Amino acid sequence: MKFVVAGAGIGGLCSALALSRCGVDVDVIERSPQISEVGAGLQLSPNAMKVIRALGVEDAVAAKSCRPDALELRLGKSGRTVFSIPMGDEAVRRYGAAYLHVHRADVIDALRAAVEDAGVRIRLGTEVASYAQDGDTVSIGLDTGEVVVADGLVGADGLKSAVRKRMFGPEAPLFTGAVAWRILSPANVAPDLPNGAVVWAGRRQHAVTYRIRNGALINFVGVVEDPSWRIESWHEPGDPEALMKRFAGWTDPLRRVIAAAEVCNRWALFDRNPLPEWSRGRVTLLGDACHPMPPFQAQGAAMAIEDAFVLSRCLVADAGNPVAALRRYETIRRPRTTRMLQSARDNMDVFHRSNALTQLATYGPMRLANSLAPAFVRSRQDWIYSHDVAQEPL
């Protein structure tokens, strides 16, 4: 069996690796002329790490990672803790895998090395321009004029997916009303910053901080409500002074992290409503091409990683019928990704309470629950982190 995967991001490389591990002949088509760093920090929660382990790249990813002690919600100006969920060794005990913070480039490097070792062909600087199905195969037209004939096509080519556009026609993504700023700073500028995945909540904005590269760097993402900025590009430069003004008056460690940044980027955050179907015949979608979501649950990459593994399992289960396999994959994955999208959307409202009364009404009960019923607070994330796509029934 032969499959073509459009896109060499985390979802595309994971799907290529998972498919190749099942004996599928795989070509990866990537529009960029090189696979390079896109973005910065990445949170790999236990549900994602279970797949990373099953794919055989856990050690390579963990070697350059940082383990958070906890997941926390704090108030941005005072630094006061609303709740704290232990991670570290507790994540391994409770969920069966570590919670890791990594640089996205380090994950890409580990996956690419494994994919190439598996004999997968990666073709750079070209993209899928068209496809046609004849019942038994799909003929994939590249922008070079070449046609590749395969048993199936996976669109893992991101928010602006060419495969999705070909399947369903042009459709504008939905602007969340928020803009994200991202920076990397040396960790030594803020040794008092908590070693965790910390959400710092404020009025119509929030920040997220965590360490990567074995604790050497701090990844900072500041999300602000700004309807005037709608450029969706992770490479768009931002003004560090403007970012500092946005977070004026916030807790001192955050301001030191911002002040130490040499490069600042910003991008508008978009998502899409759930699709009524993911697959048509021998063509399917995966990750952000299928269900892009805002980063407020830190599960976008994890959902793509899970998609990839479930897709490969379905193709093994229905080895003689790729069309049925893709239908099964969609049926399994759609409920979870739809719930995750809604959860991410809801979190933006939680993090951005606009006045003192709504903040007190939201964060007060959370803080009380963290003190009186910590087990309940920790259990709120179990549906995400306990999930294991390698063990769920098909």
Catalytic site positions:
210
Q: How many other CB atoms are there within 10 angstroms of residue 36's CB atom?
A: 8
Alpha-carbon span 255 to 249, nearest angstrom: 8
Contacts of 175 (CB under 8 A, 6+ apart): 227, 230, 268, 269, 270
CA 335 – CA 332 distance, rounded (Å): 7
Q: Which residues of 189-206 are buried (b: 16+ CB within 10 A; e: fewer)?
A: ebeebbbbbbbbbbebbb
Report how far apart the first and last C-alpha atoms of the chain are (Å, whole number). Answer: 20
Backbone φ, ψ for residue 292 (5° rounding): -60, 140
Pairing of strands 174-186, 217-225: antiparallel
- CA atoms within a 13 Å half-sphere pointing along the CA-CB vector of 289: 31
Helix or strand (DSSP H, E) at 268: strand 265-271
Question: H helices within the chain, ranges in order?
Answer: 10-21, 46-54, 58-62, 89-95, 104-117, 162-168, 240-246, 252-260, 300-317, 322-351, 356-372, 374-379, 382-385
Measure the CA–CA gap between 280 and 12, rounded to whole angstroms.
19
The dihedrals phi and psi of 250, each to the nearest 5 degrees, come to: -80, 170
- Of the candidates 7, 6, 105, 119, the residue with the CA atom closest to the CA atom of residue 60: 105
